[in-house]
Structure 1
Amino acid sequence: MKIKNIFFGFMLFCFAFAFNSCESFLEEEPRENMSLSQFYKTANHARSGVNVLYNTGLITYYDAGVYNGATIAWGPYLSGLYDNEYKGQEVIVQYSQELTISQSNIANQMNTLWGNCYTAIARANTALKYIPGIEDVSFAAGEKERLIAQAKFFRAFNYFHLVKFYGDVPLVTEPYESLENLYVPRDPSSAVYALIEQDLKEAIPALADAAFVNNGFRITKATAETLLANVYLQMSGYPLNTNRYTDAAATARSIINAGKHSLTQHVNHAERSAYNILRTEDILTEYVFSRERSATIADYQNRWVQLSFPVYAAAWGTFKYTLTNNAIRPMPTLINAYDPVNDLRIQERQFFFTQYPDQNGNMSQFEQPSPWFYLDEEAMFETGISGKDFPIYRYAEVLLIAAEAIAQAEGVTAEAVGYLADVRARAYTTRTRAQIVSELSALSREAFIEQVWAERIREFSLEMKIWDDIQRTRKYPVTSASNRGVVTFIDVIGAQNPWGATFQEKHMLWPITEQELQRNPSLTQNPGY
């Protein structure tokens, strides 16, 4: 484990941040290096120690790169349901599609993913050790408790990603302030999940009871509850199979009943559809948690916009960017999940688009659909810098978690049907909500749950959630060009992906690299690698 390299330097030298009034807390930059004897003495130190967590570890994996897509897309690439036009260069994509990933051929990527998550955990651990001891009258009422709660959230957030990716991982809960106990063995996944649950349950009461976008884009009670509901859903499936559906349902209900968040509604079914509003606007109560971006700070710009066009389109010379790449190109299996008659999301310029005027005004037809959802037209054609935030959790996901968890725990109740119908009725603009409710109510429990899984595929196809669902359900989606809109599910083990590769048990987890195994002799490799 890269404990020494990742943590020790940070524990000896912590960041202090300037607190000049700026557009948002993201604008803060390190001002000087301070030892721990100086740091974590004031309220400003506490704020800095938590602010840095908003730009460390997992949350940065939601940032895009024009070649590699995004780190958060590595799971979806492993599903085989996405392509990247630069996969000859970005080999993790090709190895994922071929299901030939190993501890050596994607070592650089795995070292980065592992290391950055543990860096965030280390910073959270330091904040959690020292902030409680700070006495400073400049703390606002409840502020210290909210800062501690945010640190607990980010520790849980990063451990959740690690435990999904690797299974058993070293559980580190204290700062590394000496060279002792550097070689931490892997702890059981159940212990990691227990810490995640504890952190979130302790954080929730102290966090602001407000919508994320009305709370300065800081973690709220609903943000932590959504993560916790997601955690319970994941724990209920493979590999733990602990059946926490009742807890997932209760946690999702808490968010719904609080009334702080809502689905964005259509103004029309064209450029002001709910999906285009989500594409272009950040101040929406549908957003429960987003990766904040800025058009005025170069290091914080959104580069997903460059993934909205295929590679060849950059040669038109009409963009403010020199490179574009359809790096999250949906495979036909995904596109065929949408009903072409009823589902607005698959219509042109909703989630996807298939053509655009070139430099001569002639309509250029793309070889495959591109993500319209990522396009910031002002940035693409006028400014060359986008400040559009990227969604991590939307209220639509809260509703679908509730629908699935209630159905699993209680059966196909009117409540479960209603939550799924809320999401589907927004998309199925040719059907009434009453028609949708009637159809869903007639389903068996198993059929209804599969409808929730299918809706998750359609609703979040461009938000990088599909691999988590495949992992926990152990089911793989199957669609057909001759019966578009119908999704069935088969066992993932033994299933073939669109590239002809067959999933094995080992593919449900990722390998630990040889470098990590050499750095930490207490680590063991995942089976099959």
Structure 2
Amino acid sequence: MKKHIFYMAMAALSLAVFPSCEDTLTETPDSSYDKDSFFESEANADMAVMGIYSSISDYRHYGWYEMAGQASDDMYYTSRTHSDNTIHDMVHYRVTSTNEWVEWLWQLKYQGIDRANMAIDGIVNMPGYAESENLQELDAEARFLRAFLAFDLIKYWGDVPFKTTYTSNYEDAFGARVSREEIYDQIIEDLNFAKEHLPWADASSSPERATQGAARAMLMRVYLQRAGYSLQMDRQMTRPDDTKRAEYFNAVISEWEAIQANGYHDFYSGGYEQLFRNFSQDVLNSQESIFEIAFFHQQGARNGGAWGIYNGPSVAEVQGVPTSEMANYMGRANGFFIVVPEWRDFFEETDVRRDVSICTYRFIWNTDSMKHVKQERNAGSWYPGKWRREWMPTETWNKNMNYGDVNYCVLRYADVVLMAAEAYNETGNTTEAWNLLNRVRARAGATEYTDANYEELMATRKATHDLTFIDDGSAQGRFRTALYWERGFELAFEGERKFDLIRWGVLGDALRLFGSQSSVNRGTNAAYPAYQNFVDGKNELLPIPLVEIQSNPNYEGKNNPGY
């Protein structure tokens, strides 16, 4: 079962941090520690690192709000279209610089980076650091988390203020934009340090803490994103020149080879469905799950995560049951996210990923039997199914109806295999690229690609959803087309799809293709309006929160393009 390794430390820790440029944050909390006297023991250094983890485990960060930042893509959207200045406006590309969730994401990412800066500075300057492997490992863990959060900044906002020193006063919090290329350099430096000083995972490891495999897998993701397209301040989507791209792809392959040489990480031996049941059941598995963000909440507390509750099948609220018996029922799941239904037909019948990824039912409350009853739904009302309230341990069902203890897996071995496959294809070794992609398909029970069956396997998809924005007239192009679909099949709703489409330079094209063809948009009111609202040269990035633009003179009043 899951070991909630962070929460004793998080309960004890309240470091004086500076997460955002707001006057309310200039006061030092009564319960905070003085930085200069805090780093006096390895236990306190470990506590400082736990404070970084607590930023990403906040329910307003990766527990909930991050779900909105990762959507919409060509696979899912939210079930409501009204304007709310939070989740629905973000997902439907109506986001503005005053969006409350964007502000929280911005603050929490900077809070985590500032905590990392404090931890790194404090640990490095501890007596005996140069001789202590434990302190160097904690330093590496903090650098991994700083890199992780800095990468989020680039993906969401592009060029942003960034520094590697702790913000000890209000004036120092104001910084000018830093080129994303400089930030990328620091991210790679941090991850290279992390991979040299963190241990490899083994069967006794918890994926809730960074390991060498996590650092190397994160480097692969960073290099692929850096090699791809990104939106610049002049509203142009650009990518590095071919020489630089080749350098980045070769770096991906180097990290992949190291992971393979170590030999521990692999596909989970219990099968695809059980892999995801394990996430909902709080079972840790460090073989395929390389890095997870941990969530846990106390009875009745407003914390934890919403995985499987906001992005899983709907479960109706229990009615008319005595409080003493509530623990016997599932509680509630809002089911905010809906699957673009056409995707279900693109999976092969034998592909086990289809019925794990796409849930076609919900649970309604039957007042006669006083039970939850499973109810099948029509296309256009299906849910992401990788996390489900029904799979969660019974003891977590009613601690809080809106939150759960389901971890979010950020880095998974199957994703690493597909990243390596992409890099091999882009460096001309398309044969090895197909070998790796077919390993993923074989685990899922899907037909492996060959030269002879490529067109047959693509026929159903091309009939209605021909990817005209990807040229498959060459061997590399055919692999890119197959990879477009395969990353969807394998990694649906896991948070990477939107950023894949951005780095490939096709997010707007994909939204328009799937939005215009979807059955959910054939009425007068489009349920999936992202394709109508998306603006090329704008919505590839989020707006910087207006409060930051107004309070930081270094922005000169300029937000991201189009905002």
Q: Is the shorter-chain TM-score for this pair beyond 0.5, marking a shared fold?
A: yes
Q: Is the 8 A contact 1:80 1:96 kept in 2?
A: no
Aligned counterparts of 1:61 and 1:254: Cα–Cα separation in 2: 35
| Paired amino acid for 2:382 | P
- Do the aligned partners of residues 439 and 197 (structure 1) sit closer, same or farther apart at CA in structure 2, a change above 3 Å counting? farther
Find the counterpart in structure 1 of residue 359 from structure 2: 353
Find the counterpart in structure 2 of residue 256 from structure 1: 260
| Paired amino acid for 1:410 | G
Aligned counterparts of 1:72 and 1:25: Cα–Cα separation in 2: 20
Indicate whether 1:197 and 2:196 are aligned: no
Range with greater deviation from structure 2 (253-262 or 85-94): 85-94
- 1:418 Cα deviation after fit: 1.7
- 1:273 Cα deviation after fit: 5.3
- 1:519 Cα deviation after fit: 1.2
- Do the aligned partners of residues 333 and 465 (structure 1) sit closer, same or farther apart at CA in structure 2, a change above 3 Å counting? farther
| Paired amino acid for 1:527 | P
Deviation by residue 1:257-279 (Cα, 9 ceiling, x = unmatched): 21111102456x9xx65554565
Indicate whether 1:503 and 2:497 are aligned: no
Find the counterpart in structure 1 of residue 216 from structure 2: 225
Range with greater deviation from structure 2 (286-295 or 396-405): 286-295
- 2:295 pairs with one of 293, 296, 305: 293
- 1:416 pairs with one of 401, 410, 433: 433
Find the counterpart in structure 2 of residue 52 from structure 1: 51
Indicate whether 1:329 and 2:327 are aligned: no
Find the counterpart in structure 1 of residue 409 from structure 2: 391
Indicate whether 1:342 and 2:334 are aligned: no
- 1:436 Cα deviation after fit: 5.5
Aligned counterparts of 2:123 and 2:66: Cα–Cα separation in 1: 30
Q: Is the 8 A contact 2:76 2:337 kept in 1?
A: yes
| Paired amino acid for 2:422 | E
- 1:82 Cα deviation after fit: 2.5
Find the counterpart in structure 2 of residue 454 from structure 1: 485
Indicate whether 1:118 and 2:110 are aligned: yes
| Paired amino acid for 2:69 | G
Q: Is the 8 A contact 1:345 1:351 kept in 2?
A: yes
- 1:155 Cα deviation after fit: 0.8
After TM superposition, the score normalised by the length of structure 2 is 0.76
SS class of match (1:392): strand
| Paired amino acid for 1:163 | I
- 1:366 Cα deviation after fit: 2.2
- Do the aligned partners of residues 316 and 351 (structure 1) sit closer, same or farther apart at CA in structure 2, a change above 3 Å counting? farther
SS class of match (1:455): helix
| Paired amino acid for 1:52 | G
Find the counterpart in structure 2 of residue 156 from structure 1: 147
- Do the aligned partners of residues 274 and 162 (structure 1) sit closer, same or farther apart at CA in structure 2, a change above 3 Å counting? closer
Find the counterpart in structure 2 of residue 492 from structure 1: none
SS class of match (2:430): coil
Indicate whether 1:365 and 2:376 are aligned: yes
Aligned counterparts of 2:534 and 2:406: Cα–Cα separation in 1: 37
Aligned counterparts of 1:152 and 1:498: Cα–Cα separation in 2: 36
Find the counterpart in structure 2 of residue 84 from structure 1: 78
- 1:292 Cα deviation after fit: 1.9
Indicate whether 1:307 and 2:310 are aligned: yes
- 2:12 pairs with one of 30, 42, 59: 30
| Paired amino acid for 2:437 | L
Q: Is the 8 A contact 1:167 1:189 kept in 2?
A: yes
- Percent identity, aligned pairs only, is 22
Aligned counterparts of 1:325 and 1:42: Cα–Cα separation in 2: 44
Aligned counterparts of 1:312 and 1:202: Cα–Cα separation in 2: 45
Aligned counterparts of 2:207 and 2:89: Cα–Cα separation in 1: 40
Range with greater deviation from structure 2 (80-89 or 280-289): 80-89
After TM superposition, the score normalised by the length of structure 1 is 0.80
- 1:295 Cα deviation after fit: 6.9
Q: Is the 8 A contact 2:280 2:392 kept in 1?
A: no
SS class of match (2:492): coil
SS class of match (1:290): strand
| Paired amino acid for 1:117 | K
The aligned length equals 478
**Runs (5+) with no aligned partner, structure 1:** 1-21, 65-69, 485-495
Range with greater deviation from structure 2 (392-401 or 505-514): 505-514
Aligned counterparts of 1:190 and 1:23: Cα–Cα separation in 2: 36
Q: Is the 8 A contact 2:157 2:544 kept in 1?
A: yes
- Equivalences for residues 270-281 of structure 1 within 5 A: 275-276=276-277, 280=281, 281=283
Deviation by residue 1:87-134 (Cα, 9 ceiling, x = unmatched): 547443433454332223x1x222211111111111111111111222
- Do the aligned partners of residues 405 and 62 (structure 1) sit closer, same or farther apart at CA in structure 2, a change above 3 Å counting? farther
- Equivalences for residues 471-510 of structure 1 within 5 A: 471-476=502-507, 477=510, 500-510=532-542
Q: Is the 8 A contact 2:61 2:104 kept in 1?
A: no
Range with greater deviation from structure 2 (504-513 or 296-305): 296-305
- Do the aligned partners of residues 301 and 369 (structure 1) sit closer, same or farther apart at CA in structure 2, a change above 3 Å counting? same
